[in-house]
Amino acid sequence: MKYLACDLDGTLLNENHGINEGNIKGIIEFKEAGNKFIISTGRSLSSIYDLFSEYPEIEYDYIVACNGAIVLDKDKNVIHSKFIGSEVAEGIFKEFLDNEDVCVHFEFDGEHYLVDSNVPNLEEVSEDMRELYSHFKDRVSIEDLFKDINERNYSIISLFSKNGDRNVAEKAKNKLVKSLGDDLEAFRNQFFVDIAPKGCTKGSGLKKILELNNVNEDKLYAIGDSFNDISMFNLTENSFTFHYAEDGVKEIANNHVSSVEECIRKIID
């Protein structure tokens, strides 16, 4: 039995945020061969469930969500959960709310928020970025953000470049690690910076699944496209990324493919 951990954005999902028919077919064949399929993503649980409600033919066995902060089985039994505490969250907010180049996004109780004063004039950003902002419809004022901060544990906090610039995101990640690196994990994911509780990575989440099933790392296969996937690649020799991935990611992954379907063919053929 083999275990395949698969990233979502930029990996399983296409540019329209859907799943190609070839990838669906590959996953079904992988499962029919008696293997286990794991979703491994920086996304929240609510976002994952919303997505896969549109693809009932895809049966997953485990979810590693929020970059390893939450791990569940297919029946929603919690294997591991850890949240970003209010003190760490406050430090992140204070560090970046006045930043002219970066937006602050967080999730609480299944809802996604942007800090109102942090959102740019949408007429000044590209059409692609306007589409991104349209997904974050809920806004919170700075006053309300800090008024209720001690009552919240955060499943997701992320930063992203206001104009989709990867270099801006890289600088923000480095600043975050320098100021708060003892209290959190930070990974650049395209022009986003994913933030997770200290000690939580996709790799740490997958390790809990392997330990639960008494499975060695050589049975694990992992595919992803960005820097938050490197912890998976460090866990197994069976690592896959894409020909189009950034060089820093391709240098770590041992195999380069064009699609998830191609990865699966290499595993099961």
Please state the domain extents for the chain: 3-81+200-268, 86-197
Query: Does domain 86-197 match CATH 1.10.3720.10?
Result: no
* Top-confidence residue, 148 or 69: 69
> Would the pLDDT of 137 be above 80?
no
Confidence of residue 148 (pLDDT cuts 50, 70, 90): confident
Mean pLDDT for 150-177 is 93
Quote the pTM value: 0.93
Confidence of residue 44 (pLDDT cuts 50, 70, 90): very high
pLDDT score of 233: 99
Confidence of residue 53 (pLDDT cuts 50, 70, 90): very high
Confidence of residue 227 (pLDDT cuts 50, 70, 90): very high
Mean pLDDT for 238-248 is 97
Residue % of the chain over a pLDDT of 90:
78
pLDDT score of 109: 79
CA of residue 113 relative to chain centroid, distance: 17
Mean pLDDT for 114-129 is 84
Q: 4-18, 73-87, 101-115, 216-230 — which is least confidently predicted?
A: 101-115
3-81+200-268 shares its CATH topology with 86-197: no
Domain 3-81+200-268 top-level CATH class: alpha beta
- Cβ neighbours of residue 58 under 8 Å, at least 6 residues apart? 19, 24, 27, 28, 37, 52
Q: Which amino acid would we find at residue 28?
A: I
pLDDT score of 1: 97
pLDDT score of 25: 98
Contact by Cβ (8 Å): 230, 252: yes
Confidence of residue 115 (pLDDT cuts 50, 70, 90): confident
* Top-confidence residue, 101 or 110: 101
Mean pLDDT for 211-228 is 98
What is the average pLDDT score of the chain? 94
Contact by Cβ (8 Å): 92, 175: no
Confidence of residue 199 (pLDDT cuts 50, 70, 90): very high
Burial of residue 91 (CB within 10 Å: 0-12, 13-18, 19+) is: middle
